[in-house]
């Protein structure tokens, strides 16, 4: 019977919710996106808990964790410290680390603090920095149908990000470059609900995926990727808003890395091509753990 453990961790006086599925092996610690998306949409990765434990947690400010009304908390350095606290509290001396989207930026920043015990890194649908992400979403936006593109441009010029016509145009972008499944699965819908009006997302990112005006907007670690020395798997969807171009930058910059493109996916390959995604990640971790002859 698969072990399932849920609980709360004290982080700087706040309560962080976590879930551990499975036991044995080197654990996989997951860092969700957003910021503020919560763990929900990553739930299919529980299928990796056949020979190891998989740990999810909701970062402070979203999901089942505390959501304090203090915008001074929402910066990347605090979230890096939170990763350390979670590891220490759960006794995660050795881990595989998976960061998806914003979780990938967090994972990169965490790795640049040179932590001990990370045996491999999985960067899923992410980038080396925000400037390249913004450049790529600007390009993808311009490739939308003309009427949709003009609607986005018109309301962005007025900073009216909540007009129904604007939100409909944003959804069209999301259906092409965030998740191509129809309908969207329940874990993703719960994550969308987490992000609705989320102060962490608005403070660090902005109103949506391609209007990045929060405090992350200038974050860029392209010139420091060479400091990441652990084996790294980079995954990306062919239609991803964090495009294969972003993934190539990571692949070129991280010395011991490999890159896998999921041809039928946008931003959520673990949902859109779940069987293949699980196999690719499972095989990568098993290979890292197998002693070389």
Spatial distance between the Cα atoms of 221 and 215, rounded to a whole number of angstroms:
15
Per annotation, catalytic residue among 32, 39, 65, 101:
101
Q: How many CA atoms are closer than 13 Å to the CA of 166, on its beta-carbon side? A: 16
Please, which pLDDT band fits residue 30 given cuts at 50, 70 and 90?
A: very high
User: How confident is the model at residue 245, as a pLDDT?
Assistant: 98
Dihedral over alpha carbons 273, 275, 278, 281 (to 10 degrees): -70
pLDDT greater than 70 at residue 292: no
| Residue 85 in this model has a pLDDT that exceeds 80 | yes
Cβ pair 61, 68 in contact under 8 A: yes
pLDDT digits (tens, 9 = 90+) for 155-177: 999 999 999 999 999 999 999 99
Span 75-87, average pLDDT: 98
Calculate the average pLDDT of the chain.
Answer: 96
> Known catalytic residue: 267?
yes
Which of 65, 120, 240, 265 is the catalytic position?
A: 240
Whether the predicted model's global pTM rises above the 0.85 cut: yes
The answer to whether residue 101 is catalytic is yes
The reply to whether 114 belongs to the active site is: no
Separation in Å, CA 82 to CA 10, 12, 115, 162: 10, 9, 13, 32
What would the pLDDT profile of 212-233 be if each residue is shown by its tens digit?
A: 999 999 999 999 999 999 999 9
pLDDT at 2: 72
The predicted pLDDT at position 16 comes to: 98
Helix axis angle, 130-142 relative to 164-177, nearest 10°?
100
Delineate the domains of the chain, giving CATH numbers in brackets.
Answer: 4-129+187-202+220-289 (3.40.50.1820)
């Amino acid at each position: 019977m698969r072990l399932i453990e849920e609980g709360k961790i004290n982080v700087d006086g706040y309560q962080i919710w976590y879930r551990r599925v499975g036991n044995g092996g080197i654990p996989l610690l997951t860092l969700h996106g957003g910021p503020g998306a919560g763990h929900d949409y990553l739930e299919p990765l529980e299928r990796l808990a056949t020979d190891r434990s998989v740990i999810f947690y909701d970062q402070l400010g979203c999901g089942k964790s505390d959501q304090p009304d203090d915008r001074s908390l929402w910066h990347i350095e605090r979230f890096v410290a939170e990763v350390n606290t979670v590891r220490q509290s759960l006794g995660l001396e050795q881990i595989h680390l998976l960061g998806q989207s914003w979780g990938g930026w967090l994972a990169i920043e965490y790795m640049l603090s040179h932590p001990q015990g990370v045996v491999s890194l999985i960067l899923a649908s992410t980038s080396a920095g925000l400037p390249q992400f913004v450049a790529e979403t600007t390009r993808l936006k311009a490739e939308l149908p003309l009427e949709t593109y003009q609607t986005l441009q018109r309301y962005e010029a007025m900073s009216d990000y909540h007009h129904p016509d604007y939100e409909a145009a944003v959804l069209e972008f999301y259906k092409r470059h965030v998740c191509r499944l129809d309908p969207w699965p329940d874990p993703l819908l719960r994550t969308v609900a987490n992000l609705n009006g989320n102060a962490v997302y608005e403070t660090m990112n902005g109103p949506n995926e391609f209007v990045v005006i929060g405090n992350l907007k200038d974050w860029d670690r392209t010139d420091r990727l060479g400091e990441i020395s652990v084996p790294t798997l980079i995954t990306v969807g062919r239609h991803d808003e964090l495009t294969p171009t972003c993934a190539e930058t990571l692949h070129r910059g991280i010395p011991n890395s490999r890159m896998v493109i999921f041809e039928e996916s946008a931003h959520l390959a673990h949902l859109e091509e779940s069987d293949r995604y699980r196999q690719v990640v499972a095989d990568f971790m098993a290979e890292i753990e197998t002693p070389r002859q």
